[in-house]
Structure 1
Amino acid sequence: MDKRDRSTLFRERLADAMSRQGMSRAEMARICSVDRSTIAQLLGEGDARLPNAHLAAECALALSVSADWLLGLSERSETAADLLEASFRVTEAERSFADAKIDEWHREAAGYKIRHVPATLPDILKTDAVFEFEYAAFRDRTPDQAISAMRSRADWLRRPGSDYEICCSRELVESLARGEGYWRGLPKAAREEQIEHMARCCRDLYPSLRLYLYDTKVVFSAPVTIFGPLLGVIYIGGHYMVFRESRQIRALTDHFDQLIRDSDTGARSAAEVIEAMASLL
């Protein structure tokens, strides 16, 4: 950018920011520790005049805007801290599956595709018996609360235009059938019911719901949910990492799409593959 054009842009943005803050030239000069005439020169329409780096930073700090924005190097007026706060935050997660934040994010993303990698099985595909098994460790929540939240999300799948993609670990479903690891202690009848229920949902809800199974020896994913273009959420246990900046969401979406490409069981065959796991019971 030509120096004269940059000077004009700086003058206009400085005047605009001062006006929005209701800040006078005298007050601006006092905060920046310069003479009032210096501020007057910056705002004057005479010769092209740009501040040195120190004064530009002081002006930006006084007005709570970005120095890059004042100088025409950015179209975003927010400071780096404000941009970071808007694009990324860590929020506390409830120690239960019936987390109100998840329902809030689902409502916010109504009409958009939701991509989901669960920590265990997808909540919307769990039976009541599995919820009761998992909630044995929770004292402040009941299975009924989780079941109610799950049914609310399942109802979302039946609305016109709903679109839900899930990538789930094949090994986790197989360990469910065998009653091993995480599922140790869950009765065989409950495991059999869960396998049948998952297969039925995959068949009945397709294509609104598309489930893919991936091999954890080939690929890996942390629990993540991407709510359309609005936000991406990574569950880290006790907290959510919430991303709202478009490039961050795009990166998470690309990760999920690659997970689908690497899955060895596609959505069309998921029901059949899960039904076959009944032989492992």
Structure 2
Amino acid sequence: MPSLNITASGGRGILSIQNPQKLSSCNSTIPTSILVTRRKNDVFLTAPYGKCSINVSFSVKSQYLTPQEQRQQQQQQQRRFSSYESPSPSQPAGQSPPRVYVGYTIYKGKSALAVEPRLPEFSPLESGAFKLSKEGFVLLQFAPAAGMRQYDWSRKQLFSLSVTEIGNIISLGPRDSCEFFHDPYKGRSEEGKVRKVLKVEPLPDGSGHFFNLSVQNKLINVDENIYIPITKAEFTVLVTSFDFILPYLLGWHTLANSTSPEEMSRLNNANSTVDYEWSR
């Protein structure tokens, strides 16, 4: 095998190949030296000629990158190794990623249930930072059936699960149940005119849970009750999804994604006077 020697002088690099082996019966040999300059793709070949000649063409990428190229390379690596991040609702103008809509829908004979997460809201501070102003939630949409595999979404009833209510559903056992009461106008003049009750109860045969939503709205004279059976598999999908999205509804992902290690150390040092439990 040929041996390689690499030398550099005056911004140039020379790649020398000693004792080159013959490539063919025409007595052609590989180049004995390659001259590489600082410029990209600037390559010169020097080779002895045998009984016939051989043309070799290739490109060499220089190791020398401009500061702009180095920044672009770092940004590409960060995008390559960063995990998926859900869109942040309060990023500065011009930097917000495109919105992504996701959900999970369960269809049954008499009704359908659509489940969608809603991300938290943030308020800007004078320092330029952001503070959580409203926790996220999971929106449940119940729609009654209007025919065979048809559902009347114009008559849908909504129920928003808070993070604590989500925790209650996640902790349910096969025989456990829970109940939530909402008054959207609590503390206002219309208090008591809209009443929503969501019950989650185990099915009698233990094959899953019942989701039963009753809505009484005196403002528009509506009194409706929509229920849907949820199998064990469907309930597992709901619980797994709730468990995954819960930290995002609290906004904790924004702290992890927006704080560099250097900034985290600075903040920890600034709060070093706090008597942490583990430092006692």
* TM-score (norm. length: structure 2): 0.25
- Looking at both structures, which has the greater relative contact order when contacts are Cα pairs under 8 Å and sequence separation is at least 6? 1
* Structure number with higher strand proportion: 2
* TM-score (norm. length: structure 1): 0.25
* Structure number with higher helix proportion: 1
